[in-house]
Amino acid sequence: MRLTTMTDYALRLLMYVGQHRDQLCTIAEVAQVYGISETHLMKITHQLGLAGWIETVRGKGGGMRLAREPAQINLGELVRSVEPDFLLVECLTISSACTLTGRCGLTRVFSDALDAFMRQLDSHTLADVLPPVRRIGKRASVVAVPASSRRRPSVT
């Protein structure tokens, strides 16, 4: 299973904003820190705002902040609200055209795997995954890993 880029960016945006709860964060600064498109982040910010994950403030000096405390943002709930679907295989769709439907055990295996994946996400909050904040004098510095330097697991 692979989550969409939109979900990846939504999680990173919330992690960044969660680390900077003492200020309004801008799309431009999040995009710069993670090396991702401002245009794409604008769409994600809009969706997260509509879903109630963040609050946005328009105008000069505007930005965004979390709408809830990080410990109140459940990762499973968040991922469900951002991902378009979780149809791992065609046989999980309502209108499945698979000729093996009803005679194949894979449907149950994939369904159980998805349930386990979502239970794992449900057991964590944003607070659990926030990167550490380093203090440099009176300023906080966030440890951010740009998208270009993140390792993807190899598939063998």
Residue ranges of domains in the chain: 5-146
Cα distances (Å, whole numbers) of residue 34 to 25, 85, 115 = 13, 25, 30
- From the list 79, 102, 78, 77, the residue with the least C-alpha distance to 91 is 102
pLDDT means over runs of 10, the chain (156 residues): 91 96 95 95 96 94 95 97 83 71 79 93 97 61 49 43
**pLDDT at 11 (0 to 100):** 97
Task: Choose which CATH entry (2.40.30.10, 3.40.50.2300, 1.10.10.10, 3.40.50.700) describes domain 5-146.
Answer: 1.10.10.10
**pLDDT at 148 (0 to 100):** 47
**pLDDT at 85 (0 to 100):** 84
**pLDDT at 141 (0 to 100):** 52
In whole angstroms, give the CA distance from residue 49 to residue 106: 38
| Residue 25, Cβ density class (10 Å: 0-12 exposed, 13-18 middle, ≥19 buried) | buried
